[in-house]
Structure 1
């Protein structure tokens, strides 16, 4: 056998034992170090269940007979629109206006 192909089974066994021991120690330490995550997950789970109960999806309106009418057919109904809390208005800002310069001025 070539020396590069030789396997030291005792050495491999010691490495395996060290890995197993590390896993056991980590399992003992985990609740003290990361146990708060289980409580946070429980809170998250109860909150998500509450939100699922509050959100009800209504029935869809009938499907339009033509493919042209199919585009945007759900958004035409106010109760099915994505913006439930009103339209989003992003105002345009002017750099000149923020500096208090006249609109025709060039920087």
Structure 2
């Protein structure tokens, strides 16, 4: 679908420049007058910050109980020991499963995983169609 024909707007660049100059002059005049109208806010802010700093300095530091304090981290070398790997095989055929042949490097450290052979429906004495 073609875009509708929208007549382009004509701009008078001289007028736009004059409008911009007026905006800039208004900003500059506002900046000059701001302190006489709103300068009291900066004084009250400085007073508040000084009071806050004085209160922080005068307050005593609270000590955390021993059970809430964090301990420094233990270096990993203390609880992780890495043994040397067996030499890398020469061929890609021998590369497949080369680490699993060493018993110390096997993933199943606690024996083979046994999956359950029981059925909840059989334990209750229900038929398989009862669930559908």
In the other structure, the counterpart of 1:41 is 71
Report the TM-score when normalising by structure 1. 0.54
Larger RCO (CA under 8 A, 6+ residues apart): 1
Runs of 4+ in 1 over 3 A off after TM superposition: 19-25
What do you get for the CA RMSD once the two structures are aligned? Answer: 3.8
- CA change 1:68–1:101 in 2 (3 A) is same
Shift of 1:85: 2.0
Deviation, structure 1 residue 11: 0.5
Q: Which has the larger radius of gyration?
A: 2
Write out per-residue CA displacement over residues 45-88 of structure 1, whole angstroms, 9 at most, x where no aligned residue.
4xx94xx2xx5433211101233432332122211112222223
1:15-70 deviation line (CA, Å, top 9, x unaligned):
36526745874x711x2x443233x627x84xx94xx2xx5433211101233432
State the SS of the aligned residue for 1:76: coil
* TM-score normalized with structure 2 length: 0.46
